[in-house]
Amino acid sequence: MYTINKSTNRIEKIESATFKQLGFKERDHLQEWIANNPSCLNEDLLIIQKEFNGFMDTSERLDLLALDKHGNLVIIENKLDDTGKDVTWQVLKYASYCSTLNGSQIVSIFRQYLQKIGSAENAEELLEEFLESDDYREKLNIGNSQRIVMIAGEFRKEVTSTVLWLLNYGLRVQCFKATPYKLNEQLFLNLEQIIPVKEAEDFVISMANKSREEVGIQEELKGRHIIRRKYWSEYLKEINQVTTLYSNVSPGKENWISAGSGISGVTYGSIATGDYARVELTISGKSQKENKRVFDILKTKSEQIERDFGSPLVWERMDQKRMSRIKFELQGVSVFKEEDWTKMIKWLCDVVPRFESAFKKPISQISRRG
């Protein structure tokens, strides 16, 4: 920080100091400064308690408890010249304790604070005005919306690395570096948000949300893979008793299993999704032209194939794609509903052998051209 001398057109550095050097204390000074001017944290906050110790079965107390304009509780922890190494664990405990507070408890806490500081103002009226809502109680501390603000002269690496990691999991944590300055007898305080950097805060939050969404997708996929593998294990036990088509196939994580037909690029498939079960013949060799030729040959024999199978089939030439497909489906069942498995497996054990038998001779009469 520098002073500007307009007459000499020069700047002069103002030397930083430490709170200890200046004789300041955490509770008597830094805490009081913030409690009486919370806008120094770059937003509108309403302090509702200080030295809050209303936690069940513990004597711990947090420095300041506040509300933001959305009704979220803000846990503010102050340190002087050094955070110490355990402050993140400390504030996480406080946030977990505060997560259980309901609207009535928050109003009561604020009322006690006003009495403590000698204010005659009405807690309910102040909350209604601050949150700009007659139904302000409905906004108070909804879900896991608690926020954490840490203020200190220096942040240790183990603290900053932990905070950055927590941000990736959606915890709303801010770190403010508090630096006192002295120029002759005049004292200054600079509060700078260092995590996340103020200018990049929205970006950091959006990236954290994206990361959490991707983790959620990965976990969902992992769960789906487990279910599918279990389903295919059950299916293969039953289908292998009525056909040898899948005798060399192992249960997998995908929504399909397949077996060869004797012609390159032409495969039988059993499909299980969240909407249907299906048996299909897929024609997907390297050459689109050749795939369409094979499909067209089979299509000329569709009447006999469907007669042998016992039901009409869906013939999908898919002119704009490399592959073609012939299928038969059971709608309205889901592999993700275990109660549907018996119906799906029974249906497939009936149609798969008939489907394979209906196509076996026509396929054997086709010779691939490449």
Does residue 47 sit in the same domain as residue 175?
Answer: yes
Torsion of CA 26, 27, 30, 34, to 10 degrees: 150
pLDDT single digits (tens) 285-307: 989 999 999 999 999 999 999 99
Does residue 153 sit in the same domain as residue 249?
Answer: no
Asked whether residue 213 is assigned to any structural domain, the reply reads no
Asked whether residue 204 is assigned to any structural domain, the reply reads no
Among candidate residues 100, 93, 96, the one with its CA nearest the CA of residue 140:
100
Range of 45's domain?
A: 2-195
Asked whether residue 211 is assigned to any structural domain, the reply reads no
C-alpha gyration radius of the chain: 34
pLDDT at residue 236 in the model: 95
Phi, psi of 335 (to 5 degrees): -65, -20
The residue out of 179, 195, 211 marking a domain boundary is 195
Does residue 123 sit in the same domain as residue 264?
Answer: no
pLDDT single digits (tens) 13-54: 898 999 999 999 999 999 999 999 999 999 999 999 999 988
Asked whether residue 370 is assigned to any structural domain, the reply reads no
Does residue 45 sit in the same domain as residue 187?
Answer: yes
Does residue 183 sit in the same domain as residue 242?
Answer: no
Q: Are 148 and 169 in contact (CB under 8 A)?
A: no
Taking the model in full, what pTM does it have? Answer: 0.58
Does residue 20 sit in the same domain as residue 90?
Answer: yes
Q: Are 92 and 108 in contact (CB under 8 A)?
A: no
Does residue 179 sit in the same domain as residue 226?
Answer: no
Q: Are 155 and 81 in contact (CB under 8 A)?
A: no
Q: Residue 310 has which token pair? A: 């016992």
Q: Are 295 and 359 in contact (CB under 8 A)?
A: no
* Angle at which helices 123-131 and 103-116 cross, to 10°: 120
pLDDT at residue 209 in the model: 58
Asked whether residue 130 is assigned to any structural domain, the reply reads yes
Structural domain tally of the chain? 2
Asked whether residue 205 is assigned to any structural domain, the reply reads no
pLDDT at residue 348 in the model: 96
What CA–CA distance (Å, rounded) separates 191 from 222? 44
Count Cβ atoms below 10 Å from residue 293 Cβ, excluding itself.
Answer: 16
Peptide bond into 251 cis (omega under 30): no
Does residue 80 sit in the same domain as residue 114?
Answer: yes
Count Cβ atoms below 10 Å from residue 214 Cβ, excluding itself.
Answer: 10
Does residue 259 sit in the same domain as residue 149?
Answer: no
The most distant pair of C-alpha atoms in the chain lies apart, rounded to whole Å, by: 103
Asked whether residue 63 is assigned to any structural domain, the reply reads yes
Asked whether residue 127 is assigned to any structural domain, the reply reads yes
Does residue 259 sit in the same domain as residue 292?
Answer: yes
What CA–CA distance (Å, rounded) separates 350 from 236? 13
Does residue 295 sit in the same domain as residue 146?
Answer: no
Q: What percent of the chain has pLDDT over 70?
A: 93
**pLDDT by 10s per residue, the chain, length 370:** 888 989 999 998 898 999 999 999 999 999 999 999 999 999 999 999 999 988 777 778 899 999 999 999 999 999 998 988 889 999 999 999 999 999 999 999 999 999 999 999 999 999 999 998 878 888 899 888 899 999 999 999 899 888 888 887 778 899 999 999 998 888 999 999 988 876 545 655 565 556 556 555 566 657 788 888 999 999 999 999 999 999 999 998 888 999 999 888 999 999 999 899 999 999 999 899 999 999 999 999 999 999 999 999 999 999 999 999 999 999 999 999 999 999 999 999 999 999 999 999 999 988 765 4
CATH number at residue 51: 3.40.1350.10
pLDDT at residue 204 in the model: 53
Does residue 52 sit in the same domain as residue 127?
Answer: yes
